[in-house]
Amino acid sequence: MTTKTDNHQLESELTLLTRTTTPLTLHTITLSLSKDNDQLIECRFTFKVNLELYERIDTQALFNLKPEIRGNLSSGKFLPEPDITIETSLKPDLLRHLTEHTADANQAATYLLNLSQEQPNHPLLSTENWLALSVKQQQKSGETGYSTIWAYINPSALASGATSSEEMNQAVAKFFKDWTETNLSAVTQKATSQMLDGMLNFFKELADVSLDALEKQVPNTITEPEPSSIQIFAEMVNFFKQDDWSFYQIKGQPVLQMGFQGKNGQWTCYARARENEQQFVFYSICPVTVPKAKRRGLAEFIARANYGMVIGNFELDFAEGEIAYKTSIDVEGSTLTFPQMKRLVDTNVAMMDQYLPGIKSVIQGDASPEEAISKIEKR
């Protein structure tokens, strides 16, 4: 077999659609096609985004950038500048759309750009149909970034069955070796097991990928929620399906993760079923982490914000600088209803969206905690 890769420099704007059909305009750099004996086996495209757009991609897990299938940053954090480069690969079952209309990378690039204008809802233009391989930023001190499992296990080879069990073993082992090397201070057997569970669960969600070989290696890692967590968890899942949310389960836990787009920003939400306690809890995680020097000021802001709140409250993790808004309900002796969950969830995201500009203004030093709260609550 002879593999050939054809590259085309794009340097143009391409608009894709997210799972919520929100437009996402990217500055594309290159598009490449790889063929084995003239058969198309992979299509990649690379693009650049600023930090704000990357945070949106990260929060909403666009391009399948889910936590369980990616490594940690290799060095430091992403900075406001320069732009961040993301390399992606088209899901294997979508390659036929390119095969039917293009012969080389140049034609493929032109085809995608034309589709963006003529058929914006085409599957090739959905972020859900592209798998992120790596996310990198070149800084003065060197490159920082991370790779996903797809950089280790070629999705096209996996889907076609060309990846042997031995090759799969080696790829998974290499991924975990690299992952643990960047997490030496925090690695535990439990953390590694949870990550593997989540990774396998994510593979299962990709219908175009065959997982027989991978599942045979770790047959006991995929587990359903404990029976005690099934009732409220099932009601929780039904609610988010009926309310038209896109979400996925954190494997082995009665927890759902999802992204939310508000007027003032995007962030990650978590819904948890606590069956033993007969409770439902919903969190909005603030997309801004509070620097150490600003945490006392934010504590005052949160105390002022929480005063008088009836449904839910803000929380601040002093150790990590994470802010969350929490709403919850105890339903012991009764059942969890759709209206109850709707009120808790809608109130939760509304409060985070309302107070997010104030949080940012205090962190940036544009307003004191008292001034920021006064401006929000007068409005």
* 219-249: burial string, b at 16+ Cβ within 10 Å, e else: eebbeebeeebeebbebbbebbeeeebebbb
pLDDT over threshold 60, residue 246: yes
Q: Taking each helix axis as running N to C, give the angle between helix 230-242 and helix 338-364, from 0 to 180 degrees, rounded to the nearest 10.
A: 80
Q: Taking each helix axis as running N to C, give the angle between helix 295-306 and helix 369-378, from 0 to 180 degrees, rounded to the nearest 10.
A: 30
Tally of residues, the chain: 379
Beta strand 39-49 pairing with 23-36: antiparallel
Residue 216 pLDDT level (bands cut at 50, 70, 90): very low
Residue 226 pLDDT level (bands cut at 50, 70, 90): very low
Residue 19 pLDDT level (bands cut at 50, 70, 90): confident
Residue 248 CB partners (closer than 8 Å, separation 6+): 61, 66, 202, 205, 256, 257, 258
Topology of domain 227-378, CATH? Yope Regulator; Chain: A, (3.30.1460)
* pLDDT computed for residue 314 by the predictor: 96
Question: Over the stretch 118-148, which tens digit does the pLDDT of each residue have?
Answer: 888 888 999 988 999 999 999 988 889 988 8
357/128 Cα distance (integer angstroms):
30
Question: Over the stretch 41-54, which tens digit does the pLDDT of each residue have?
Answer: 889 999 999 999 99
The mean pLDDT of 285-290, rounded to a whole number, is: 91
CA distances from 260 to 23, 32, 156, 360 (A): 15, 32, 31, 18
* pLDDT computed for residue 169 by the predictor: 54
| Least trusted range by pLDDT, from 78-82, 150-154, 256-260, 359-363 | 150-154
Question: Over the stretch 331-343, which tens digit does the pLDDT of each residue have?
Answer: 887 778 899 999 9
132/130 Cα distance (integer angstroms):
6
The mean pLDDT of 261-290, rounded to a whole number, is: 91
Higher pLDDT, 89 or 73: 89
* pLDDT computed for residue 135 by the predictor: 94
Half-sphere exposure (CA, 13 Å, Cβ side) for 68? 21
* pLDDT computed for residue 164 by the predictor: 47
pLDDT over threshold 90, residue 2: no
* pLDDT computed for residue 155 by the predictor: 56
Residue 104 CB partners (closer than 8 Å, separation 6+): 6, 8, 33
Look at residues 346, 348, 326, 327 and name the one whose alpha carbon lies nearest to residue 338: 346
pTM, rounded to two decimals: 0.51
pLDDT over threshold 80, residue 344: yes
The residue ranges of every structural domain in the chain are: 3-156, 227-378
Q: H helices of the chain, where? A: 51-59, 95-99, 105-118, 155-160, 165-181, 189-205, 212-217, 230-242, 295-306, 338-364, 369-378
Query: What share of the chain in percent tops pLDDT 70?
Result: 79
Averaged confidence pLDDT in the chain: 80
